[in-house]
Amino acid sequence: MSNQGLIAIAAAIAVAFSTFFPALGQGLTAKAAMESIARQPDAAKDIRSSLIISLALMEALTIYGLLIAFMLVSKI
């Protein structure tokens, strides 16, 4: 297999992993936040702000994976 083929596969894997795992984490985080709000409605404001911050950090992981894939593709 050529070097270009390996770089293309590495870019595909970078996008796949950086999309799948943060999405899974975001789903589990949102589920836990909704359960917490259901148990303690008075703390909904605090839980919501923590949820938004954690979702933004997880989304940054996806963007980093996309950036790595772009950097790999530019070497082809």
Read off the pLDDT of residues 54-69 as tens digits, 9 standing for 90 and up.
999 999 989 999 999 9
What is the dihedral angle through the alpha carbons of 76, 8, 13, 69, rounded to the nearest 10 degrees? 20
Read off the pLDDT of residues 10-40 as tens digits, 9 standing for 90 and up.
999 999 999 999 999 999 999 999 999 999 9
Return the ∠ at Cα 12 (arms to 8 and 13), rounded to 5°: 115
What pLDDT score does 59 carry?
A: 92
The structural domains of the chain, ordered by start, are: 3-73 (1.20.20.10)
3-state secondary structure (DSSP) of residue 55: helix
What pLDDT score does 25 carry?
A: 94
Q: Say if CB 17 and CB 24 are below 8 A apart.
A: no
